Amino acid sequence: MTVTRALPGRNASPRTARVINDRLALRLLQQEGPLTAGQLKELTGMSRPSVADLVERLQESGLIEVVGETGEARRGPNARVYGIVAHRAYVAGLDVRIESIAVEIADLLGRTVAHAALPVEAGARPERIVADGIALLEDTARAAGAAAGLHTVVFGAPGLVDPVTGRLSSSGALPAWHGDLVDEVRERLGVPVLLENEVNLATVAEQRSRPAGDADTFVLLWIGGGVGAGVVLDGRLRRGISGGAGEVGFLPISGSGELPTATDCDNGYHGLVGSRAVCALARSHGLPAGPASDAAAAGAAVRAAVAAGSAGQAFLAELAARIAVGTAAICAVLDPGRVVLAGEVGQAGGPGLAALVEERLARLSPLRTLVEVTGVEGGPILRGAVITAVDAAQDVLFAPGA
């Protein structure tokens, strides 16, 4: 347990000092779990009377409650264990793809209470998709008992998110209903609704899952239906001036000899390692890859190659060589020291594919770079959306007077 001291400025007013200490105590309860008043005293460095006042304030505000008692023989205030009232508010994370919409409802501590998804049929009317997406969100929140307490909603979607307007930038590559769904939820629910690039959200989930020393600087390389990167430098997710940091699918690296355009990355890095290219490569090596060329099919092809042992090694080696070319370009600019493979293809390849990429990368670049596979299980985009929503909700609810 890391000891953190409350250090309000020397000239801070009593009210400012209380605000600082309250927020510190809430963060400790979030990070460490339920604590006694004595433990809060030790971790914050505050006096016993100050901690007693703090606990009373936070209880009266409905932010913390008694969740149990320690095993001490002496009963008293210090033996009570306090925790955050997780049901004080609920948040929602959504993963909006071209072919599907998924939603996860979580409490104020980020614990999942409900999950649902629906496919998006090709050719479906945009207004029907928007209506179905809203119904999915509302029904899932209602089933979780969170309909009345939904505080913040975070969407993850492919494409560029304008950091000024918070809207998807028009690129012609995505259906218009993505932006329409976000706008309709904002209007209907009347709660904070945030939009973020889906790979950035997966990167947030990765950052939170990693040991502290490995979370400050790394690049998450997402290889699935499309290709993208999340960039974390000095502990901060970097989005770029226009929200386009990490759009590595447009790197002018191609197997066709052609170049990508501003609206089409098929002749860029995307066309080399995206799902269609992976499925085609698998078929050329005699591996099972059905007629579909989406992210799920590409991931299945890679898993089949891993399971095939030596019979799949030639395919995995060629795939690793392709991945390494783009990774070398990323490392030449950013020198992150660590690249994490994620997405349906990156995750399916596991540590074996990561090791092959690292070996090939070492031949292409003088910069020593570790290549690892993501440790986030399940849906990293949804998990990142929930983490982002929880952070936003806590910033509001943990503020003075909230």
Query: pLDDT tier at 86 (50, 70, 90 boundaries)?
Result: confident
Query: pLDDT tier at 173 (50, 70, 90 boundaries)?
Result: low
CB atoms within 10 A of CB 351: 12
Which pLDDT does position 352 carry in this prediction? 96
**Nearest-CA neighbor of 139 among 117, 156, 119, 109?**
117
Q: What is the pLDDT of residues 200-243, one digit of tens each?
A: 999 999 999 988 778 899 999 999 988 999 999 999 999 999 88
172-176 mean pLDDT: 61
Q: How do beta strands 193-197 and 80-84 pair?
A: unpaired
| Best mean pLDDT range from 96-100, 166-170, 350-354 | 350-354
CA–CA distance, 252 with 99 (Å, rounded to integer)? 27
Handedness of CA 264, 290, 201, 325 (dihedral sign): negative
CA–CA distance, 182 with 153 (Å, rounded to integer)? 10
Which pLDDT does position 208 carry in this prediction? 92
Question: Which structure tokens are listed for 52?
Answer: 């007693």
Measure the CA angle with vertex 274, ends 269 and 275; round to 5°.
170
For 280-349, what is the HEC assignment? HHHHHCCCCCCCCCCHHHHHHHHHHHHHCHHHHHHHHHHHHHHHHHHHHHHHHHHCCCEEEEEHHHHHHH
396-402 mean pLDDT: 70
Taking CA atoms, 275 is separated from 13, 118, 263, 296, in Å, by 58, 21, 18, 8
Q: What is the pLDDT of residues 92-126, one digit of tens each?
A: 999 998 889 999 999 988 999 999 999 988 888 88
Q: Answer whether residue 50 shows pLDDT above 70.
A: yes
Average pLDDT, the chain: 87
Query: Which one is predicted more confidently, 399 or 21?
Result: 21
**% pLDDT > 70, the chain:** 91
Query: pLDDT tier at 3 (50, 70, 90 boundaries)?
Result: very low
CA–CA distance, 370 with 356 (Å, rounded to integer)? 11
